Amino acid sequence: MVKGVWTYEVPLEKQEEYLKKTLEVIKPFWEAHECLSYQVYQDYTNPTRFVKEQLYPDKETMERSLNIARTDPKAKEVVELFRQYAQNIVRRRCVPRVDDKGYHKFEE
């Protein structure tokens, strides 16, 4: 499994609309494009800060899914919709190292 993790901010006045669009459009789109899980968290110490996690079965699937935004018009719309609300976006790609099954060796 691999995980894409984004941190970003959404202004307070846009949060309700952002969360509605995420539930209705953004989350279903990515889950229909090989994303196993799409979760959004809000920082309880800074209510404008959010964390989004997308879980994929492997690195290749994640890259393929995320790269469709370059070619698929619908994907471009979904990315643009997210960017209408999100500011100061930072993206990370993560692989598991320790979980309930133990230590995982990192492989490129």
Q: For the segment 17-55, what is each residue's pLDDT rounded down to a tens digit?
A: 999 999 999 999 999 999 999 999 999 999 999 999 999
Q: How far, rounded to the nearest angstrom, does the alpha carbon of residue 69 sit from its chain's CA centroid? A: 13
CATH no. of 2-95: 3.30.70.100
> What does the pLDDT look like over 61-97, one tens digit per residue?
999 998 998 889 999 999 999 999 999 999 998 887 7
β-pairing, 102-103 vs 37-42, is unpaired
Separation CA 14–CA 10 (nearest Å): 7
Task: Tell the residue number behind the tokens 């110490």, with chain if given.
Answer: 45
**pLDDT grade for 57, boundaries at 50, 70 and 90:** very high
Q: What pLDDT was estimated at residue 105?
A: 62
Residue 90 burial (10 A CB sphere; 0-12, 13-18, 19+): exposed
Q: What pLDDT was estimated at residue 23?
A: 98
User: Which of 92, 72, 89 has its CA nearest to residue 30?
Assistant: 72
β-pairing, 87-94 vs 37-42, is unpaired
Q: What pLDDT was estimated at residue 17?
A: 98
